[in-house]
Amino acid sequence: MRKRGQNSAIVPYAAGLCAGYAAVILTSLAAALLLSFFDAASKAAGAAAVLALSVGSFVCGRTAGALRRRDGLKTGALCGLIFSVLPMILSLIFGLFGTPMLIVKPLLCIAFGTCGGVAGVNRRG
């Protein structure tokens, strides 16, 4: 029997994923707005996508780490791994399975998620 007020084991990861994907959407919108001003959309769209993915996975790990308050490395790495599933599926659907980015995307998600998890656990307040 659980104590009253104790969170489920899945809640930090689910909240982290929601916050991470919201950060991806906001970063993508900001990058699209910025790229439209400079008329460089075709050249810099890949960099903007990598930036959005990195920011999203960091926010995902930080949120999960802040809610869980322990095991920042493990929490962040697991959050980054789970976070990378959707971009990997989308890459496979849209035919980007032969590019090196298929390997780079999960590694970036895991690395930034891990950093976010440690930052979330060590957050004051």
In the structure, what pLDDT confidence band is assigned to residue 103 with cuts at 50, 70 and 90?
confident
Report H helices in the chain.
11-38, 41-68, 72-83, 85-93, 101-121
Say what the pTM is. Answer: 0.87
Q: What is the pLDDT of residues 14-44, one digit of tens each?
A: 999 999 999 999 999 999 888 888 777 676 8
In one letter, which amino acid is 111? A
Query: In angstroms, how far is CA 85 from the centroid of its own chain?
Result: 10
Assigned token pair, 69: 């308050």
Cα angle: 110, vertex 114, 115; to 5 degrees = 120
> How far apart (Å, rounded) are the C-alpha atoms in residues 116 and 125?
16
Q: How far, in Å, are 46, 63, 95, 107 from residue 100 at the CA level? A: 13, 29, 13, 11
Assigned token pair, 124: 């004051």
Q: What is the mean pLDDT of residues 94-100?
A: 72
3-state DSSP assignment of residue 8: coil
Q: How many residues does the chain have?
A: 125
- Domain locations along the chain: 11-121
